Structure 1
């Protein structure tokens, strides 16, 4: 899938999870306890933004992906660690029928990697606190904004991401520290969304590694081949991406407190302005 489709699908799933689960979301999942996740507008939008950005992270295993090129030398260096690590995991665990090198759509496209990444973020934030939380928020928000540039090009996403991260710290209840309980879960969800999105394309994704399937540990899970999408094809660009964009807008109006009322107020104000400028 294209970066914009990954970002939109991550945002949509993040909004849907918060909208359906609300305060029942498991926010202390790594620590083994349940607490209330943020259900205010800022918390819901932040959760969705983290999911959207994390939905681009698995492509660190591709040298020209958005995740690899977004942060200059830092993300390039991360990619140069991820690709050999993925290749090593592939060589050590490949079964007799596995083919390929495991460098792209390998380790980072598995459910085990998604869960492990979330657990690692939670463990690191418990150990080092705010720096880990700030860094994770900034990276995910910057990736989310960049992923949506294809729809709405705007100012440099790194500048916007820095401003939004600061806004989370200042105005979301609990600030950055308040994201500690659910941040790892949001990243896990975003990474899983990416892998599932790639699974519906022609190549599939090794979601269930290392479970052996048909003589392969890196079996490319996917739907029936006749209905799989071609990355960047007309179905994705004309139907899937626009459909996801509409879904995100609708979910924002439905699940974000005050968003629906704000939209109605804006509609009325625009109507009043148009009426005032009309004939007579």
Structure 2
């Protein structure tokens, strides 16, 4: 799927979980906690493509992204070789370990433990990284270094000015990261390629069986169906959900509309 589709689907899931089921996050549904959670799921929805050398996740942070990608790809290939079934083919470098439920759970656990242990520094760092990925993933609408500046500014605003701040999500950011990675793989599952979500369980002689939707419901990644239908619908749906679940969002929009009408 396109970066914009991954980012918006991640944001939508984060908004739904933190805004409609706050008990799952364990915090009060404030603007700060909801938007922090959604921002992390949006960016984490691009993380699985660290196993692709030309992806946003592999390039966004220069040498740091390069190092991460060059650690992930060999690791994924090694795990593939060690666990491949008799009918598995390929090298396991792309749509491999990072596109599995097990991989998402592993990274989610690590982030969860770190954010619970060290609190705000980890929370702010994870939010910054994920926002930078999400902004860059919005189809290049914010090119180059400015996306890092915007991500840093939004992280600061979330921490200092949004009601509830980011502190309420410490310890639960692991869930946001895991959900973002999972929704990425589910998105790939409705494309022609599928994703090995259920690794290492054997399916038809393959431990890396590409789970997918029924063939008639799949579409080509980056094709016309996604560009003209899926991505716009996800974007509009995410914006509508944000207005619905974020406390005060509707009031802000109504006030802005009133100001525009008065100014006109």
* Deviations 1:25-53, CA, capped at 9 Å, x for gaps: 2x4xxxxxxxx324111221111111000
Aligned residue pair count: 264
Residue in structure 2 matched with residue 15 of structure 1 by the alignment: 15
- Pairing 1:179–2:154 present: no
More displaced 10-residue stretch of structure 1: 85-94 or 256-265? 256-265
The aligned runs of 1:90-105 (5 Å cut-off) are 90-105=80-95
Q: What are structure 1's unaligned runs of at least 5 residues?
A: 28-35, 275-280
The aligned runs of 1:102-181 (5 Å cut-off) are 102-151=92-141, 156-172=146-162, 175-181=165-171
Residue in structure 1 matched with residue 67 of structure 2 by the alignment: 77
- Is the CA contact (8 Å cut-off) linking 2:3 and 2:139 kept in structure 1? no
Residue in structure 1 matched with residue 2 of structure 2 by the alignment: 2
Q: Cα RMSD between the aligned structures?
A: 1.8
The aligned runs of 1:24-63 (5 Å cut-off) are 24-25=23-24, 27=25, 36-63=26-53
Residue in structure 2 matched with residue 236 of structure 1 by the alignment: 226
- Is the CA contact (8 Å cut-off) linking 1:206 and 1:221 kept in structure 2? yes
Secondary structure at 1:181 match in 2: coil
How far apart are 1:263 and its partner, in Å? Answer: 1.4
Q: What are structure 2's unaligned runs of at least 5 residues?
A: none
How far apart are 1:124 and its partner, in Å? Answer: 2.4
More displaced 10-residue stretch of structure 1: 102-111 or 145-154? 145-154
- Is the CA contact (8 Å cut-off) linking 1:14 and 1:52 kept in structure 2? yes
How far apart are 1:197 and its partner, in Å? Answer: 0.3
Structure whose CA Rg is larger? 1
Give the distance between the partners of 2:12 and 2:253, measured in 1 at CA: 19
- Is the CA contact (8 Å cut-off) linking 1:37 and 1:182 kept in structure 2? no
TM-score by length of 2: 0.94
TM-score by length of 1: 0.89
* Deviations 1:61-87, CA, capped at 9 Å, x for gaps: 000000000000000110000000000
How far apart are 1:237 and its partner, in Å? Answer: 0.3
- Pairing 1:205–2:192 present: no
